[in-house]
Amino acid sequence: MHKPLSKVSQMARRGFLGLAGVAALSDSLLSRKRVVRALLAKDSLAENTGSSAGSSRGLPPLKITDVRVIVTCPDRNYVLVKILTSEPGLYGVGDATLNGRELAVAADLEQHIPPLLIGRDPEEIEDTWQYLYRGPYWRGGPIQMTALAGIDLALWDIKGKRANMPVYQLLGGRTRTGALAYTHASGGDFAEVEDVARRAMKRGFKCVRAQVAIPGLEGTYGTPGNKTPEAAAGRVANMAGLPHTEVFEPTPYLRVVPRLFEYLRAKLGPEVELLHDCHEKLDPIQAARLAHDLEPYHLFFLEDCLRPEYKESFRLIREHSTTPLAMGELFNSLWDCVPLIKEQLIDYIRCDLGHIGGITAARKVAALAELFQVRTAWHGPGDIGPPTHAANVHVDISIANFGIQEMVFFPDVTREVISGGPEFKDGYMNVSDLPGLGCDVNEEAAKKYPYRRAYLPTARRKDGSVQDW
């Protein structure tokens, strides 16, 4: 509806042409005049009268009236966004948590974004996404894209509540009864990993990600290592305000990991699906060797082998192995996904909905991936909040090319502040039929757990040089 008028509206927005000027347009432009006004109103707090989208469905016009940002630390730091509307009691809840940079996202959400949103129609999700993404000119990056994801989730929540439908219905309805889930098994040695995996399988998991500490190294991603229990859990890790440093060397890592999977296959049998996360720490030839050496143990996938900058290097891994590959939790642009998907260099795209721009972004990634037979495996760690986990599952159960869903169980203290979110049963995740995303935030409870500065761990080689964690 905006296209024919883009020049006029841009001029008007820049102050070359005020509303009086618009009114003076020739007859042939009169029908466009109303649209110009709506555009000006949409992007201008002072003029905004709300849109007529709601009234076309017999509902009164709806406006965003406030954007609240809740920063809280019930076990970990979370940044939640609550968008209030002109309809009494109708609001949406989103998650905008970016581990280690929470306050930067909160500042964007508190300082820059509300004036752009207040007065807009919350139902115009795609237009709002485009406006917040392209509008600031300085687009993208993890901080802005996490803020945008928080807004996006809250808007989908509002749309669902207004339609009295769960979000997955708005996305096209169910394609499956549940989302196949995986959990983490990590330990100091093979026996401990086996023990944790067995407990997960008893709980119903059919898929387990396995990580083991590497002898001689002081800690390895995803394992207890030399960390304090808090840091090992990745929680509010270092109250002194400095990141914990792990030591990584590729040679022992590349030797031990295939042995871990040889051990697990022998002990756990062929049925359980096994996964492993390299956490972006390998060089291309190292990743190719690992993927090759893991072939006999038939992994479900090998995750995030390479740094996100080196997409073309996945070709090398592909040339050397049939181990399925997953990539993408560090991507924060839709366009990061394109080369890997369209060249079929990976089998699973695992963006983080919370860092790539929410449901509006994820459905585009999923649609592109479907066309190239790539499945989804959205990132689902403990350091994104329940609304993002809920969004994951709403998308999972409504697309054709879902692959697998990473998940965590949130502790009671987190659930005291943020209620709802997906449930796990017999190996699968599901969401309730509550309207919207199905999550809520208790703002009073959130105040009991103020933000505590914490960093993710960092890593170095034995010679002291910086290494990807």
320 in active site: no
Cβ-Cβ contacts under 8 Å for 287 (sequence gap 6 or more): 278, 305, 306, 313, 316, 317
456 binds ligand KDG per the rule CB under 6 A: yes
Residue 89 C-alpha from the chain's centroid: 27
**Count of CB atoms situated within 10 Å of the CB of 400:** 12
Distance CA 105, CA 95 (A): 11
236 binds ligand KDG per the rule CB under 6 A: no
The residue among 99 and 333 lying less far from ligand KDG, judged by its C-beta, is 99
277 binds Mg ion per the rule CB under 5 A: yes
> 131 and 116 in contact (C-beta within 8 Å)?
yes
Half-sphere CA count of 217, side-chain side, radius 13 A: 28
The residue among 87 and 246 lying less far from ligand KDG, judged by its C-beta, is 246
Distance CA 292, CA 288 (A): 6
Distance CA 195, CA 189 (A): 10
The residue among 81 and 278 lying less far from ligand KDG, judged by its C-beta, is 278
> 399 and 370 in contact (C-beta within 8 Å)?
yes
Contacts with ligand KDG by CB under 6 A: the residue count is 9
- Residue 381 binds: one of ligand KDG, Mg ion, none (C-beta under 5 to 8 A by kind): ligand KDG
The residue among 123 and 383 lying less far from ligand KDG, judged by its C-beta, is 383
| Helical (H) or strand (E) element with 441 | strand 439-441
The residue among 194 and 277 lying less far from ligand KDG, judged by its C-beta, is 277
Applying CB under 6 A, which of residues 235, 276, 279, 281 lies at the interface with ligand KDG? 279
Contacts with Mg ion by CB under 5 A: the residue count is 2
Q: Which of residues 319-338 bind Mg ion (CB under 5 A)?
A: 329
Distance CA 250, CA 255 (A): 9
Torsion angle, alpha carbons of 24, 26, 27, 32, to 10: -70
CB of residue 435 to ligand KDG, shortest distance in Å: 29
Among the listed residues 91, 182, 221, 348, the single catalytic one is: 221
Per DSSP bridges, beta strands 458-460 and 466-467 are antiparallel
Per DSSP bridges, beta strands 325-327 and 348-349 are parallel
Q: Which of residues 89-148 bind ligand KDG (CB under 6 A)?
A: 99
The residue among 383 and 440 lying less far from ligand KDG, judged by its C-beta, is 383
CB of residue 274 to ligand KDG, shortest distance in Å: 14
CB of residue 463 to Mg ion, shortest distance in Å: 26
279 in active site: yes
CB of residue 222 to Mg ion, shortest distance in Å: 8
Distance CA 307, CA 287 (A): 11
- Residue 99 binds: one of ligand KDG, Mg ion, none (C-beta under 5 to 8 A by kind): ligand KDG
87 binds Mg ion per the rule CB under 5 A: no
Q: Which of residues 317-336 bind ligand KDG (CB under 6 A)?
A: 329
| Helical (H) or strand (E) element with 277 | strand 273-277
Q: Which of residues 368-407 bind ligand KDG (CB under 6 A)?
A: 379, 381, 383, 406
Distance CA 147, CA 354 (A): 8
Q: Using CB under 6 A as the criterion, which residues of the chain lie in contact with ligand KDG when the complex forms?
A: 99, 277, 279, 329, 379, 381, 383, 406, 456
List residues with catalytic annotation. Answer: 221, 279
Q: Using CB under 5 A as the criterion, which residues of the chain lie in contact with Mg ion when the complex forms?
A: 277, 329
